[in-house]
Chain A
Amino acid sequence: MAAEKEIPSGASSATASHRPVHSDTAAKWFLMSSVVYFFVVGVIALIIAAKFVWPELLGTIPMFSYGRLRPLHVNGMLFGWLLAADMGLVFYFVPRLCGVKLYSEKLGVATAVLWNAIVLGAVVSLLMGWNQGFEYAELPLVLDVAVVVAWILFGVNVFGTVFTRRYPQMYVSLWYTMGCILWTAFVYLTGNFATLFTTGVNQANLNWMYVHNAVGLIFTPVGLALAYYFIPKAGNIPLYSHKLSMIGFWSLAFFYVWTGAHHMIHGPISQWLQTISIAFSLMLLLPVWTVVYNFFATMKGHWPLTRDNVPLKFLMSGVVFYLLTCFQGPMHSLRSVNAIVSKTDWIPGHAHMAVLGAFSFFAIAGVYYSIPRIFHTKLYSDALANWSYWLAMIGGIGFFVTLWLGGFWQGWQWNNPAIPFIDTVVALKPIWAVRFFSGVLIFGGIATFLYNILATVIHAGPRPQEAVHA
């Protein structure tokens, strides 16, 4: 098999004596804070899920009303947990893939501190109702500017490392990371600044370009960078194909940005723009299927590894969810399907499968894999890690499946104008109850994950002597 091939000469220069010792300080800062936010924001997620079942819950306190907690949940999960964890893991694997130290650990720590300040500022402003009124871009302008600064610092660090790398050929995780940094810069500016100079449909178009690409060109590329790094690493199996990964990457680079208008299908935006966005949404199957094929082919013959390997379990489940959510996306861009599912509870089902089922699973796997290595110890408890997997997995499936089915059902009811609207609300109540209890399971997974990581770090103590040999 290919795995027995000689290591190329380029890599042999990285003999033990040349190996950089990574201190991973910046990664630690990002990872530890993100894991804590995952838990805290999980509490908020539970509250808003409960509000669908008990609408009076915390009903007389403006700060805790649905309209204020929902953006806190979304922004907290996206920026406090997921993006911060992604940034921490990028700080972990980029130096290793480049064979050099991180460009500047100090700069990385400064970025992490700034990032935490932004997250705390976001909590205050969203609870106060200082909401700009744009989905995913709710934060006040000051914080938007701070995000831009933090992103530039992050980019300088990553590109600084890449430019000093020892191995000339770049592994696919590096492309996705760099692509993410470059595209995010433009996507974020469009969604948070360009929108301020426009109104109406024009503004909505820019807003959806941002919302769509916040997922497509921020979380997708960095999430895939993690998967491309951690799947081979966690299983110690070489990737199936480098060539195939190129197709996935460059088609993503070209196709993804076109699809923003599919958020307004049947809505008040030019039909031709809707058609273009639908055509490109279908093209997205290409970057998705090439990537997923690559991962499955990598695992071929190695599936038994997933039994005892928790990171690999999370990673491959994430790949399956990625495949599913990216099949939903193109399908519900079609006008006929969209007429049923658009604006229903199918949409949160779809969004959660992408951001929780796929990208958060990748990040959790990355944290489980890297934290013991960063702290030169072993994971506190493998059994507990297994628990966190099964809780998140069963809760996740309960969440996704009920919302898809419920969403379809809701859409069919809406399409029959003889049914009064309120009846369609009442009909969905059992669905929302199942969603809440699935959320409790997911939260249990998050809690065990947090406990396991904290216990690992606390038990690690000072760096053991024998670890620094070689």
Chain B
Amino acid sequence: MADYTYPSIYFAYFLFFLFLAGALYFFLRSFRDGYWGATSEDVKYQMLKDEEAEGHGS
């Protein structure tokens, strides 16, 4: 077996930084996409309300 131990560790570091960059990018993007606006969380209230008429909601 060829020894790829160190390359794999560097690869892991590389990926960690890649994820960090991705996380930052998407965080900044989320402002532009309106994820911090007043309506951005509407869907979680809506899912509570579509109970069927005949359901015995608790």
Name A's B-contacting residues (CB within 8 A): 2-3, 5, 7-8, 10-11, 14, 16, 19, 21-22, 96-97, 99, 167, 169-171, 173, 229, 232-234, 236, 238-239, 241-243, 270-273, 275-276, 279, 283, 309, 372-373, 376, 378, 467-470
In the A-B complex, list the 10 residue pairs whose CB atoms are closest, starting with the nearest.
Answer: A470-B53, A272-B4, A272-B8, A8-B42, A279-B12, A11-B46, A239-B44, A275-B8, A467-B54, A169-B43
Question: Quick check: A270 and B58 within 8 Å, CB to CB?
Answer: no
CB contact list, B6-58 vs A, under 8 A: 7-9, 11-12, 15-16, 19, 30, 35, 39-58
Chain A residues contacting B52 (CB-CB under 8 Å) are 19, 21-22, 96, 373
Q: Give the distance to chain A from B5, nearest Cβ to Cβ, in Å.
A: 5
A-B contact pairs, 15 of them (CB 8 A): A8-B42, A11-B46, A19-B53, A96-B51, A173-B47, A233-B48, A238-B44, A238-B45, A239-B47, A270-B1, A271-B1, A271-B8, A272-B4, A275-B5, A373-B56
Distance between Cα atoms of A237 and B50 in the complex (Å): 14
Q: Give the distance to chain B from A34, nearest Cβ to Cβ, in Å.
A: 22
Chain A residues contacting B39 (CB-CB under 8 Å) are 8
Closest to B13 in A: A279
Number of A-B contacts (CB under 8 A): 108
Distance between Cα atoms of A262 and B32 in the complex (Å): 39
Q: Give the distance to chain A from B23, nearest Cβ to Cβ, in Å.
A: 8
Q: Give the distance to chain A from B19, nearest Cβ to Cβ, in Å.
A: 8
Which of A19, A232, A283, A372 interacts with B44 by CB under 8 Å? A232
Distance between Cα atoms of A276 and B13 in the complex (Å): 10
Question: Quick check: A236 and B53 within 8 Å, CB to CB?
Answer: no
Question: Quick check: B9 and A275 within 8 Å, CB to CB?
Answer: yes
Distance between Cα atoms of A165 and B11 in the complex (Å): 42
Chain B residues contacting A236 (CB-CB under 8 Å) are 48, 57-58
Question: Quick check: A469 and B54 within 8 Å, CB to CB?
Answer: yes
Which of A167, A275, A373 interacts with B55 by CB under 8 Å? A373
Chain A residues contacting B45 (CB-CB under 8 Å) are 3, 5, 7-8, 11, 238
Given that A11-B46, A271-B1, A276-B11 are known contacts, is A470 also in contact with B54, CB under 8 Å in the complex? yes
Distance between Cα atoms of A465 and B20 in the complex (Å): 58
Distance between Cα atoms of A378 and B55 in the complex (Å): 10
Given that A19-B53, A276-B12, A373-B55 are known contacts, is A242 also in contact with B4, CB under 8 Å in the complex? no
Question: Quick check: A171 and B47 within 8 Å, CB to CB?
Answer: yes
What class of interface size applies to chain B in its complex with A? Answer: 35 or more
Closest to B58 in A: A236
- Specify which of B30, B40, B41, B49 lies most central, judged by the most chain A CB atoms within 10 Å of its CB: B41
Chain A residues contacting B44 (CB-CB under 8 Å) are 171, 232, 238-239, 241-242
In the complex, given contacts A19-B50, A275-B12, what are 17 additional A-B residue pairs having Cβ atoms less than 8 angstroms apart?
A11-B46, A11-B50, A167-B43, A167-B50, A169-B42, A173-B47, A234-B58, A241-B44, A243-B30, A270-B4, A272-B5, A272-B11, A275-B9, A276-B11, A372-B56, A373-B52, A467-B54
Distance between Cα atoms of A224 and B26 in the complex (Å): 23
Distance between Cα atoms of A373 and B16 in the complex (Å): 46
Distance between Cα atoms of A97 and B46 in the complex (Å): 9
Given that A16-B53, A309-B58 are known contacts, is A271 also in contact with B41, CB under 8 Å in the complex? no
Chain A residues contacting B16 (CB-CB under 8 Å) are 279
- Specify which of A22, A170, A236, A373 lies most central, judged by the most chain B CB atoms within 10 Å of its CB: A373
Given that A232-B48, A236-B57, A238-B48 are known contacts, is A170 also in contact with B8, CB under 8 Å in the complex? no
Closest to A167 in B: B46
Closest to A12 in B: B49
Closest to B3 in A: A271
Distance between Cα atoms of A96 and B41 in the complex (Å): 18
Closest to A2 in B: B41
Q: Give the distance to chain B from A119, nearest Cβ to Cβ, in Å.
A: 30
Chain A residues contacting B9 (CB-CB under 8 Å) are 275
